[in-house]
Every structure is written in structure tokens, then in C-alpha cells.
Amino acid sequence: MKKELTRPQYLDLYYYMRLNRAVEDMMVKLFRQNKIVGGLYSSLGQEAISVGTAYALEKKDWLAPMIRNIGALLVKGVPPRDVFMQHMAKYDSPTKGKDGTSHFGDLEKLHIVSPISMLGDLIPVMTGVAMAGRYLGQKIVTMTWIGDGGSSTGVFHEGLNFAATQKAPFVLILENNLWAYSTPVKRQVPLENLADRAKGYGISSYIVDGNDVVEVFTTTREAVARARAGEGPILIEAKSFRRLGHAQHDPAEYVPKEMRAYWEGRDPIALYEKFLMGEKLLDAKSKKEMEEKIEKLLAAEREFAENSPMPPPEFAATGVYCTGDDCHKIRPKWERPVAEVMPPKSNVKPVWTVEGFGSGKRSAGNAAIHFGDTKSALETETPGTDATTKTNGSKPAAKSPAKNSAKAGAASSATRKAKR
């Protein structure tokens, strides 16, 4: 790790990683007390990715987390109580008890798009949000996450190709934690670096150590700045390892013990804490104060969540479908003159000049299709020459008499018989 941030930034990253892990530890306790009604999906060992990437965004930017990116939600401003109540299906939760995991967002204030269970579908969605922001003149960047397994879905490629052709201000974080459920990455993709997928769409990519929060943050900050400047989408592969199974029911016994031990020795919070201590950015006193702050916060947030009521039975039939303004009032926020995107200024001729078309040579002969304006070899022949004359003026090759060919064939046959 290199020292290149301000002290508050260093400590913010530490705080949010510690908060991320403490929130998940608290939810494990609630799950074992049968107070969480849905699934519980851990990000143990990957906190540096969620926190470091989300911390690189501005307040106006948009993100769409997957269900393990709780750290990104906390950085964006979601209070822990909302995470608790969401998993407990309480009435005061963001979805009023209609979901038992992290499928919730905040379009109006925090600019968070809800997770989509079908892996990869958030890529075209966030590409669309990025394009809309550009159309409205907002100069925003959008971000979402995908796993190594999710990068093999069709919509991953379709969405990334769409983002590339539109040069959308979009950053995609590919969390390569080496396993897609129980399938090792080498059994699903014949690539050492999944960032190489970006080459197929002509976009830039980075590879970072997903357990180094400073590297994750500084690299993402650079990518966000490039996307905002109009360079198009950027893919970041963060290499890491999730130290728990797919969910609480999965002991992940398919992971070799040696691999688990290696990554436990590379815990992102422990590594970062060692760095902060070495750089005199954190000491035992400030560490204890932060731990007490988090403990006090989560005790209050848990109490609020547990005291929140369950939704009334009659509420089950409401709020399922959006019915318009009585559901939400989201309106376009123009930050550019509307006239710029309205006729006549927005008018363009429905004819496109294809770059490179006409610059190549035409094929010789009577090809059905010719590209460009270069004449074919036959059309460049000088008057009075036959079709065998070369376009550079050289004479056609002389034809051998048939009888000479016959004699040569006979001589060759005789020679073969003599060798036998």
C-alpha cells in the first residue's frame, strides 16, 4: 500500500470496512435467532472491494449493488437499521416487509438501483442510467458489480457491448473471488485474467488486488474520472476470495483447506490495519474509540429494527405494482438546455458515413460485391490487351505446347521405373 490519501480518507475506508463486517456479524446472530426470514449472503474477505469502489463515487453518481455489496450501501448512506429491517421483513424497512434480503434501492436521494437476482442484468440497466444522465447533462457515472461466474452470462456480454458502443460513463467491478458457488474459476473460464474480456469490446480495464482497499479505491477513482471525462465504460477486475460459502446453509467444504488458510492470512481489514498503524494513522486508542462507536451504533440500530412491527396482513396486496404518481414522483432533472436535445438542434440526416468504408482495394475478378471506389484489376486493363495481361504492364506467361508436356510426362515415368 502507498500513502497517497488524506488522513480522513484513510480512516473513512477503515471505518466502513469495520462497519461492513460488524453489520454482517450482527446479521449472523439475528439469523441464528430465527429473526431473519430470508437468505443471508456474506461478503467476508471482500469488504475492501465494496467499500473501496463505492467510496470513489460522488454523491450524484448512481450505483446498483448485488446482494453481497452491503459495504457499498453503507458508504452511500444507507443506515444499518434499513439493512437489518430489510432482512427481517419489517414494516419500516425500505420495501415495507415485502423482501427478505437486500433487494431495495433509493432512486430519489441516494441514487441506488435495487439488485436484480438474474446475474448480469444490472449491466444494461446501469448503462441506460448512465446514458440518461448524459442526455440530461448531469455528468454522472454509474457503477455495478458482477462475480466471476456472472461474467459468463449472456447479458454480461450483451450489456458490456451495449455500454461500449454507446461510450456510456459506466464502471463495472468484476469481483473474481475464484469460485462461482462450488465451481472454481478455472473450470468455467479459460482465462487467467477476467479483465481480458474487456478487449472484446474495445474498452479499458484494470486488475487490482481486491484485498488492498487503497489500491481498489485509487484505481476506481481513476476509472470513474476517465468515464466521467467521456472515455466510455471501464472494467475493473478485483481478485479476492470470499471466506464463507454461498449462504448460511453452505459450509463450502469444496474449497481446499490450504486455499482457505492462505486467504485468511490476507484478511483485508487486518492488512489495512497493519498499514495504518505503520504509517501512524491509527493507534490503539483511536482503534478502540472506533470499535466503541460502531458497537454503540449497531446496538441502537438493532434495537430499532427489532422493535419495528411486522407488516399488517392486508398490506400484502398493496404496493405490488407501480400505479403512477401515488407510487412515486420521479421526474427528469435537466442540467442542460432542453433545446439542445430537441428539434431543430437535435436533427440529424438519416445517413451515416461508415468509417473505413471505401478505403480498401476491390477484389479482382467479377466479385459480386466490391467495397470502396478502387477499380478492380479487370477494369484497369489497357485497351487492346487480353484478360491475362497484368495491370502493371508485364507480359502474360508463355504457354507450353501440349506435346512437350506429354514428352516430359513420359520421361518422368521412365525415371520412376528405373529407380524401382
Q: What is the pTM for the complete model shown?
A: 0.82
- Residue with more model confidence, 377 or 198: 198
Q: Which residues pair with 171 in a beta bridge?
A: 143, 234
pLDDT at 159 over 70: yes
- Positive or negative CA dihedral for 80, 101, 214, 227? negative
Q: What's the mean pLDDT in 236-245?
A: 93
Domain ranges of the chain: 7-330
Q: What's the mean pLDDT in 184-209?
A: 95
- Residue with more model confidence, 355 or 10: 10
Q: What's the mean pLDDT in 15-23?
A: 98
| pLDDT one-digit tens code per residue, 66-78 | 999 999 999 999 9
User: With contact defined as beta carbons under 8 Å apart, do 298 and 24 qualify?
Assistant: no
Q: What is the pLDDT of residue 395?
A: 44
pLDDT at 366 over 80: no
pLDDT at 400 over 50: no
Q: What is the pLDDT of residue 386?
A: 52
Q: What is the pLDDT of residue 369?
A: 52
Q: What's the mean pLDDT in 116-122?
A: 95
Between the ranges 175-189, 317-331, 344-358, where is the mean pLDDT highest?
175-189
User: With contact defined as beta carbons under 8 Å apart, do 247 and 39 qualify?
Assistant: yes
Q: What's the mean pLDDT in 260-289?
A: 96
pLDDT at 370 over 60: no
Cell of 376: 478492380
User: With contact defined as beta carbons under 8 Å apart, do 45 and 267 qualify?
Assistant: yes
Cell of 305: 429494527
Q: What's the mean pLDDT in 185-197?
A: 93
User: With contact defined as beta carbons under 8 Å apart, do 129 and 142 qualify?
Assistant: yes
pLDDT at 116 over 90: yes
pLDDT at 219 over 80: yes
Among 90-104, 146-160, 388-402, the range scoring the smallest mean pLDDT is: 388-402
With a pLDDT cut of 70, the percent of the chain lying above it is 84
What architecture is the 7-330 domain classified under in CATH?
A: 3-Layer(aba) Sandwich (3.40)
> How would residue 360 be classed by pLDDT, with cut points 50, 70 and 90?
low
- Residue with more model confidence, 372 or 139: 139
- 484513510: which residue's cell? 10
Q: What is the pLDDT of residue 365?
A: 55
Among 79-93, 179-193, 358-372, the range scoring the smallest mean pLDDT is: 358-372
Q: What's the mean pLDDT in 129-138?
A: 97
Q: What is the pLDDT of residue 323?
A: 80
> How would residue 402 be classed by pLDDT, with cut points 50, 70 and 90?
very low
Q: What's the mean pLDDT in 85-103?
A: 93
Amino acid sitting at position 89: A
> How would residue 11 be classed by pLDDT, with cut points 50, 70 and 90?
very high
User: With contact defined as beta carbons under 8 Å apart, do 235 and 223 qualify?
Assistant: no
> How would residue 337 be classed by pLDDT, with cut points 50, 70 and 90?
very high
With a pLDDT cut of 90, the percent of the chain lying above it is 68
- 436533427: which residue's cell? 347
- Residue with more model confidence, 388 or 42: 42
Q: What is the pLDDT of residue 407?
A: 47
- With b for 16 or more beta-carbon neighbours within 10 A and e for fewer, the 137-161 pattern comes to ebbbbbbbbbbbbbbbbebbbebbb
Query: What is the rounded CA–CA span in Å between residue 241 and residue 262?
Result: 10
Among 44-58, 90-104, 338-352, the range scoring the smallest mean pLDDT is: 338-352
Among 108-112, 301-305, 328-332, 411-415, the range scoring the smallest mean pLDDT is: 411-415
> How would residue 416 be classed by pLDDT, with cut points 50, 70 and 90?
very low
Q: What is the pLDDT of residue 318?
A: 82
